[in-house]
Structure 1
Amino acid sequence: MRLALAVLLAGAAGGVLTPPAAASGPGPGGAAAARACDPIAPTECLLPFPNDWFTRADPRSETGRRVAFTTDTLPRPASGIPVSPTAWNRSDGFSPGSAVIAHVPGLDPAATGAAPITDIGRSLDRDAPIVLLDADTGERHPYWAEPDAGAGDDGRRALLIRPARNFHPGHRYVVALRGLRGEDGRTLPAPEAFTTAAGRPLPRGHALYERQRALRPVLRDLRRAGVPARGLHLAWDFTVASERNLTGDLFSIRDQAFRGLGHAAPDFEVTELTDLTPQEDPRIAREVRGTVSVPSFLDRPGGPPGSRFHRDRDGTPRRLPGNTQTAAFRCEIPRSAFTGRTPSRPALYGHGLLGSRNEVGAGNVKAMADEHNFTFCATDWIGMAADDVPVVLGALTDMNGFPAIPERSQQSMLNALFLGRAMIHRDGLPADPAFRAPGGRPLLDTRHGLVYDGNSQGGILGGALLAASTDIERGVLGVTGMNYGLLLNRSSDFAPFQQVLDAGYPDKLRQQVVLQLYQMVWDRGETNGYASRLADDHDVLMHIAYGDHQVAMVAADVQARTLGARLHAPALAPGRSPDRVPHWGIRTAGTPFRGGSAMVVWDSGTPTPPLTNTPPRAPEYGQDPHSDPRNMSTARQQKAAFLTTGRVMDVCGGAPCTAIPTP
């Protein structure tokens, strides 16, 4: 895999893997009446970002807005190929987890007093130099501010303002920057265009007349919130995409597919059955492989890598006649299901980054299965599986190819939903001889609902799967977080892909905008776009590895705040966290735990990760603890209790949870 990845990386960096540009044209919610670059921030076209300057009125959308990018406003890759705005212009707002980006040459965030990652509470101070205001509620929104540590040129360094809790879908937000200072402590002058637009009324026909009109409600909302126009360095507003817009594609293909299925079990075929002796595997007695047939909503027969949704004129995903996804699956039936009195609990498993269903055969999954009598079945997260690596790499050099990733990922979620239904339907897998013991005794317990367990990417995508499922009762999201736009810069996994992104978009300021543009369409294929629905409909247990090199803990904290998850306390030993208030804004769980979602931090003694948007690397940051929680029997005991009862057991004796580093 490493050699193949190296070859693919070399090809992508040379432009070999760049997918063809998407078809041009406005499509649904196209770029009619779109504006050019925002004149109040002349250094980079899409800045400040996100920004309602790049939307238009749309009375048909739930927000009343529609994103209206053009090929001229979207950043072109180094190849110079124009980027079609079609996929972005389906949005009625921006990502609920978007970083707010501004370019302020000479800015020193520390001298300014901007709230750092270690003191999020400071962002809500009345005199905070950066204000995020929910214009719909009048409340301030928490954040932390950081300069892009990956930018080598101070003159092209982005100011990144990260929401500490996702923005509320469908709401409008106002951003204000004031009292910004440089290293010498002096106040930085505001951009002249902004000062003019925020000043006296301009005559019709003035170059900034329209910008001034758009700025008036921004200044009015700030004034009502106690932030006067005088002293502002920059201010603007943006609208967050509605929940319906974020979840609409996945929920639509789910509803269409299950409506066609009715009360029947999905069609499936068992292609391979292997009975294992205790000497061959002391935990798993039978391994079953097969396929399940799923309606495909992708635009190519069988939905290969690079496929996108086939859409009707209104932009709704529709199935091409007869198009079917043959989703391969692998199931591990524990020895306890054969030897115990009760059949095993059916559970879906979600694999890690660009992996495959075969991760269900990992040692920790087998241990979980046999120790707690679960049968785990898995199918590939197509779109983010091993076969998709060339498409992923190509999308990093050219944004045109990116929508294929989340759209194929949504098809993979439908595949998993069909596999899950087959696991619990009396005419599905439980009826097949492969899932019966000698003598015909069932090995799958259909009296109880389906549950989910996923790790790493399986956690990041798994929350979206749970939000879409009517069969899954609850789930465990292991070493998880959400929002790839926040995660990538902070992940050691992304390091080899960074060179490809650098080749496609070498300017670091523009690159930060590109990452947030990716997130706008990625929301449809990972938990970030479904967090509000997940919080309402499902309970999850989040297991976090302190100092994780691959999935940054800060992304888990944002997710926990957004879900309203409770924190196992004490979470860490005293002095372990550099934060002024560790896990700020996350309420602690009571004893006993009374239901809902929860987060447990497992500490292997790994050094605290960087406080910048950079990844931790060995040896400075020690051994990666990413795999440690799932390899602890106590953590598996806690997961099993949650999956079966919804309770979070204190398996750590009233102390912080510690893990043994995986050899």
Structure 2
Amino acid sequence: MILRRPSLIATCTLLLAVAPGCGSDNDPDPPTTTTTTTSTTTTTTDPPDDEERTVGGSVVGLKGTRLVIQNNGGDDLSFDTDGPFTFPTPITAGDTYDVTIAAQPEGINERCWVVRGTGTAGESHVTDVLVRCSVNPGSIDLGNADRCDPLDPGYCLFPFPNDYFTVPDQDAETGRRVALRVDSMPVNAAVDISAVLGQPPGTVVTPGNVPMNPAEWNRNDGFSPGQMLLTLVPELDLQRSGIGGITHMERSLEPDAPVVVIDADTGERHLVWAELDAYATTDATRALIIRAGTNFKEGHRYIAALRGLRRANGDLIEPSPTFAVYRDGAPSDIELLESRRQHMEDLFSRLGTAGIQREGLYLAWDFTIVSRKNLTERMLHIRDDAFAKLGQAAPAFTVTTVTQNPDSNRSRRIQGTFTVPNYLNQANGVPGASFHYAQPDDGLPDQFNGNGTLQANFICNIPRSAIADGNDPLAPVTPGRAALYGHGQQGTASQVNGASATGDISNLYNYVFCATDFIGMASSDGLNIANLVTDFTRMNTLADRLQQGLLNNLFLARLLIHPMGFGSHAAFQNGAENTSVIDTSDVFYYGISQGGILGAALVAVAQDITRGVLGVPGINYSVLLDRAIGFDQLRPLMNAAYGNELDRRFIFSSMQMLWDRGEGNGYAAHLTDDPLPNTPPHKVLMHVAFGDHQVTHWSADIQARTMGARIHMPAIAPGRSEDATPYFGIQPIDGYPFQGSAMFVWDTGPFNAGTNTGTPPPPTTNQPPRVGVDPHNHPRFQAGAREQIDQFLRTNGVVINPCGNAPCFAE
């Protein structure tokens, strides 16, 4: 059993601090957990002259029939419904009364108890006896309570994330440590992945009956800043419940919001939206998903509360029996229930202070977000360790191929490898490797075999604006600005050779773009990713290799600006004086799609790069994959491996806890003005495609809010967005040129089916858009966007306005 708080005996003495009315004259709101208490009389009517006093009150929460109560062992009253009562036989002033339950309700597993049921009649009638009824605690199945949370009996690990699945840890920054158990985790089935790999059927079959091993998750001292919240609410109707979806997430901040998440310490509301899983095939497996509109704060504890939830016919949905026991204060002598009682009372108290009363709650639970240290310490450690070992030197590199005049934009293409310390547990950090932890394991990766290295590839393109003709060794040199390029989904460094983005831009504005494979999510990782989606125990192999990939990019950036780096090699020189073709005064970053997503993490941890452009970016992958056509090929493999649809939802949520370590979601809060330790502040420019089929524009909104980017206004033409308040919570740019970080939305315009042009707004469910033209590639073609890149990626760059007083339109 995972215990959150010390055991609490359900007595009046121990409940005085948390249950108003216990041993007092106050009507309990919130309800108490006591059976009877002593009180003095309360009056609402004048007593008769003969000193007779009536004893009465009310019955609340009764759902069964034939409840019988007594006063002083007799004077029976029977009830079939809630309502007021007065015992027929009065007592004399100065006499005592003792209201008890003579017979519990019939027809339903319910238990009633008496609050303020004993006392001495005084000068007034007794009117405040309260008989409360709720779930019979003895009827609750607690057989798996040591590994499953009984608050949501629909699925073992719901609600999730949840501090019920953590344990105290005095060495952790948050004071807690995730403690998932392997016997609670999803178990996979064998899957034939041959077709995805281009092999004959039966060639590659992944192992089955393998439970997810939570060991890597249990290194966390909390949950993801972008964690997907999950629970199961049978028969929930979002519209009848008044729940704000993705187009009306500001609903979560309104006083009567049905779905609320608050900071447990400050009571501040957090921007969220809720949706039902559109991928579920039955209502019985259709999870309620709650997503953060801006990332949760690292190290903070939050309380999620659901209230007033309704079915399609308008009926209220009753909470689970376990939650009802806590909410209603139903007394019990069951140790497993009572050990959590004080903690739940604390949640109700904090919610009450925030204006959310326990009456009417469907569910409430708390969760702690991972600390900044725990989230980023692996990446920062390998960065700092690798550069400390490098010292003042440049990384070692080898030029393997030089191609002169490869296309109309480039005069020279240079390929080769460079050496990087290897922190993965296999030689050369091959796909499928994970971090190497030497013993004793201090939680920080160690260099493989103490001095192991890997060879990372590079491709650099020299624009004709730097050298007019690669075949002319005496052609004068105009050194080009140094920049890294981040490639797209499971691509390679060769995407830097493309014409649309890097080619045209490099020649127009004289950039030397270099790229290396973003290992972890490069084409070489295809087999590992296919294996991963059929066995998510392997999730750390993706996250860890991504972090090694970030380090590889950092070393590549150093090679671009170091005096003994690329510029010292003849392949990067030209002219009579062997002038370097690279301007080594600064280095920048430009990434598109996956390169825009992962680039947020790269820029955030970079010490040499201080400015980056993120093309069609967003956070986080648990949001992105649901709404991306790019997951179409892998989703069937995941579905085959994990047939339980609730297992799949849990996986989508939990995988973010590891993915954070290598993607922008884990670093967005430190991307701009709150830099990580030993890291400079950064500025970024985001180019977003409205209605993007591959990286949902809503994920870019989350990123902009989290990192504090401002937005060009008007961002979108009136009526184009389905949002109730488009770009809610993102501050507008108040003047140009702008000195900070910014987001620009590029719109291809309304969809025209006849001409197959334009893009409609995306679905509001957690599914990808499939209608109209995919605008994913459009921003990079726009002259105004390219001019922005030129003006921004400078040592003292600024954000210019290429769109005037109008939205930005993309052809």
Q: TM-score surpassing 0.5?
A: yes
Q: 2:495 & 2:333 partners in 1: Cα distance? A: 63
**2:477 touches 2:579 (CA, 8 Å); kept in 1?**
no
* Shift in Å, 1:505: 1.3
Tell me the equivalent position of 1:68.
179
Question: Which segments of 5 or more consecutive residues in structure 1 lack a partner in the other structure?
Answer: 1-33
**Which residue, 724, 727, 736 being the options, matches 1:580?**
724
**Structure 1 partner of 2:807:** 656
Which residue of the partner structure matches residue 20 of structure 1? none
| 2:747 paired residue among 580, 595, 603 | 603
Q: Which moved more, 1:521-530 or 1:633-642?
A: 633-642
Equivalent residue number for residue 166 of structure 2 = 55
CA contact (8 A) 1:243 1:532 kept: no
Residue in structure 2 matching 1:293, options 419, 439, 454 = 419
Which SS does the other structure have where 2:547 is aligned?
Answer: helix
**1: CA distance, partners of 2:571 / 2:395:** 16
Structure-2 residue corresponding to 1:530: 667
Q: Partner of 1:105 in structure 2? A: 234
AA in 2 matched with 1:599: M
Asked if 1:147 is matched to 2:276, the reply is yes
* 1:94 equivalent in alignment to 2:223: yes
Match for 1:355 among 467, 491, 496?
491
Deviations 1:169-225 (Å, cap 9, x if unpaired)? 110000111100000011111111111133337556433122323322211210111
SS of match in other structure, 2:230: strand
Give, in whole Å, the separation in 2 of the partners of 1:167 and 1:499: 31
What is the alpha-carbon distance in structure 1 between the residues aligned to residue 289 and residue 797 of structure 2?
A: 37
Give the Cα separation in 1 of the matches to 2:310 and 2:797. 50
Counterpart in 2 of 1:431? 568
TM-aligned CA distance change 1:53 to 1:593, over 3 Å: farther
Structure 1 range deviating more: 351-360 or 592-601: 592-601
- How many residue pairs get aligned? The number is 620
- Give the counterpart of 1:343 among 473, 479, 487: 479
Q: Secondary structure at the match of 2:533?
A: helix
SS at match of 1:496: coil
Q: Are residue 616 (structure 1) and residue 616 (structure 2) matched?
A: no
Aligned to 1:314: 442
Deviation string for 1:316-338 (max 9, x for gaps)?
Answer: 10012231110000001101012
CA distance in 1, matches of 2:464, 2:630: 35
Residues 1:503 and 2:503 aligned together: no
Identify the residue that residue 635 of structure 1 maps to in structure 2: 785
For residues 346 and 261 of structure 1, what CA distance do their matches in structure 2 show?
21
CA contact (8 A) 1:49 1:100 kept: yes
* Residues 477, 574 of structure 2: 8 Å contact kept: no
* One-letter amino acid of the counterpart of residue 353, structure 2: R
Alignment partner, residue 652 of structure 2: 515
Q: Which amino acid aligns with 2:229?
A: V
CA distance in 1, matches of 2:802, 2:336: 65
2:319 to 180, 190, 194: 190
Structure 2 CA distance, aligned partners of 1:626 and 1:253?
33
Q: Which amino acid aligns with 1:39?
A: P
Q: How does 1:425-574 map to 2 (within 5 A)?
A: 425-439=562-576, 440-447=578-585, 449-535=586-672, 536=674, 537-574=681-718
Inter-partner Cα distance in structure 1 for 2:737 and 2:370: 34
Aligned AA for 1:614?
Q
Bigger proportion of residues as helix: 1
1:591 Cα deviation after fit? 1.6
Counterparts of 1:360 and 1:654, CA distance in 2: 33
Q: Deviations over 1:105-126 (max 9, x none)?
A: 1000110001121112211110
Give the partner amino acid of 1:588: P
1:45 is aligned to 2:156: yes
Q: Counterpart of 2:29? A: none
- Measured in 2, the distance between the counterparts of 1:417 and 1:253 equals 11
Q: Which deviates further from its counterpart, 201-210 or 495-504? A: 201-210
Q: Hey, what does 2:537 align to over in structure 1? A: 400
Cα-to-partner distance string for 1:543-577 (whole Å, 9 max, x where unaligned):
00111100001100000011111001111111111
Query: For 1:597 and 1:163, how far apart are their aligned partners in 2?
Result: 21
Partner of residue 138 from structure 1, selected from 255, 267, 284: 267
Q: Secondary structure at the match of 1:132?
A: strand
What is the rounded CA distance, in whole Å, between the counterparts of 2:371 and 2:662 in structure 1?
A: 15
Give me the whole-angstrom Cα distance separating, in 1, the residues matched to 2:739 and 2:146: 48
Write the mapping of 1:252-263 to structure 2, written as runs, cut at 5 A. Answer: 252-263=381-392
For 1:221-370, list aligned pairs within 5 A. Answer: 221-276=350-405, 281-312=407-438, 313-320=441-448, 321-339=450-468, 342-364=478-500, 365-370=502-507
The 3 A distance-change label for structure 1 pair 35 and 438 is farther
CA distance in 2, matches of 1:82, 1:486: 24
- Residue 341 of structure 1: how far off its partner (Å): 6.5
- Structure 2 counterpart SS, 1:487: helix
SS at match of 2:400: strand
Q: TM-score, normalised by structure 2?
A: 0.75
Residue type of the alignment partner of 1:119: H
Tell whether the 8 Å contact from 2:249 to 2:273 is kept in structure 1 after alignment.
Answer: yes
2: distance between equivalents of 1:577 and 1:468? 34
Q: Which amino acid aligns with 1:611?
A: T
Other structure's SS at 2:373 match: helix
Secondary structure (helix, strand or coil) at the match of 1:524 reads coil
Residue 304 of structure 1: CA displacement? 0.6
Secondary structure of the corresponding residue to residue 382 of structure 1 = coil
CA distance in 2, matches of 1:203, 1:104: 25
Q: 1:106 corresponds to which letter in structure 2?
A: E
The one-character-per-residue Cα deviations of 1:217-242 (angstroms, maximum 9, x if unpaired) are: 21121011111111111000000001
1:582-630 deviation digits (Å, cap 9, x = unpaired): 111111112214322100011112111111101111xxx1111111111
SS in 2 for 1:253: helix
- Cα RMSD over matched residues? 1.3
- Higher RCO, 1 vs 2 (CA within 8 Å, ≥6 residues apart): 1
Provide the rounded CA distance (Å) in 1 between the counterparts of 2:616 and 2:246: 20
What secondary structure does 1:540 align onto? strand
Which amino acid letter does the alignment assign opposite residue 484 of structure 2?
L
Q: Deviations over 1:495-520 (max 9, x none)?
A: 11110110111222221111111111
Residue type at the aligned position of 2:582:
L
**Structure 2: 5+ residue runs without aligned partners?**
1-144, 190-207, 469-475, 675-680, 750-758
Aligned to 2:768, the other structure's residue is in SS state: coil
TM-score where L is the length of structure 1: 0.92
SS in 2 for 1:77: coil
What's the CA shift string for 1:105-155, capped at 9, x where partnerless? Answer: 100011000112111221111011111001132200011111111111011
Distance 2:226 2:654 in 1: 11
Select between 194-203 and 487-496 the one with higher mean Cα deviation: 194-203
**SS of corresponding position for 1:141:** coil
Percent identity between matched residues is 47
Q: CA deviation at 1:378?
A: 0.3
Structure number, greater radius of gyration? 2
Q: Matched residues in 2 for 1:486 and 1:415: separation?
A: 27
